[in-house]
Amino acid sequence: MFDEADLSEDAFLGGRLRIAQPRHGYRAAMDSVLLAAAVPARAGESVLELGCGAGVASLCLGHRVPGLRLAGLELQPAYAALARRNAAVNGQDLDVLDGDLAKMPAGLRERSFDHVIANPPYFPAGTGTPAADGGRETAQREATPLGLWIGVALRRLRPGGILTLIQATERLPELLTGLGAGAGSVTVLPIASRAWREANRVILRARKGGRGAFRLAAPFVLHDGDAHLRDGDDYSAAARAILRDGGAFDL
């Protein structure tokens, strides 16, 4: 577990959430908030987050949509403990289970969900320089293949349930391949830092058993202008509505 001296308390959604995170380990940031904003959940529905870390995505979603039944699965016990702590501090119910998605705990194998969400590691195994911190390395570099994340997610969804993922753009072909014939009605939202830059993130949403046409949404642009021109952030109005005010994507 983390010592108190190793933790910082960070504000999300314009201070609406207070999240304890390790100062030097894996730290959730914008991607978790964007993931939560893409989930079309409604009060009373159930949501499972695979690899929930300190719980940021689930808690952002729970703040936006009160009345959800939230569950998380986390491989690293210290982060799972943080997720439970953060849920309690922010007055939310988040059922966090310790475990490996490749060896799904029995308590989850018996359940199905209206939504499954995930922010899988972006970097394939064997690429790049390993992170100095073991927790960050586990969170950011793939040990379980991306296709297995998708397969596990689909098995945990009820018929007609919705899978929502955020990933690096270059891995979009793997995401689509991993869906196979098990899901359709796919929407892909590219995320670009500025209007003139290529998207470096994508959000993918798919329905289990869906048969709707594939949709490629217009890119979501995070920052106004061609360059950073002032102190503080220069988020677009649409980005501020999500990152600061807890809004949702219109997909």
Q: Which two structure tokens, joined as six digits, stand for 59? A: 């808690």
Checking if the pLDDT of 35 tops 70, the result is yes
Percent above pLDDT 90 for the chain: 81
pLDDT on residue 8: 95
pLDDT in tens, 208-248: 999 999 999 999 999 987 666 555 578 999 999 999 999 99
**128-132, 156-160, 178-182, 209-213 — which is least confidently predicted?**
128-132
> Does residue 248 lie within any of the structural domains?
no
Confidence of residue 25 (pLDDT cuts 50, 70, 90): confident
The tokens for 14 are 């314009």
Q: Residue 243 to residues 64, 87, 96, 233: CA-CA distances in angstroms?
A: 12, 19, 24, 11
Domain hosting 32: range is: 4-243
Write out pLDDT tens, residues 124-152. 765 655 545 455 455 455 678 999 999 99
Within a domain: 249: no
What is d(CA 79, CA 60) in angstroms, rounded to the nearest whole number?
17
For residue range 78-97, what is the model confidence (pLDDT) as tens digits? 999 999 999 999 999 999 99
* CATH value at residue 65: 3.40.50.150
- Tell me the pTM: 0.91
pLDDT at 142: 62
Q: Count of alpha carbons within 13 Å of 67, Cβ hemisphere only?
A: 6
In a domain, 201, yes or no: yes
Q: Is residue 139, in this structure, part of any structural domain at all? A: yes
The number of folded domains in the chain is: 1
In a domain, 251, yes or no: no
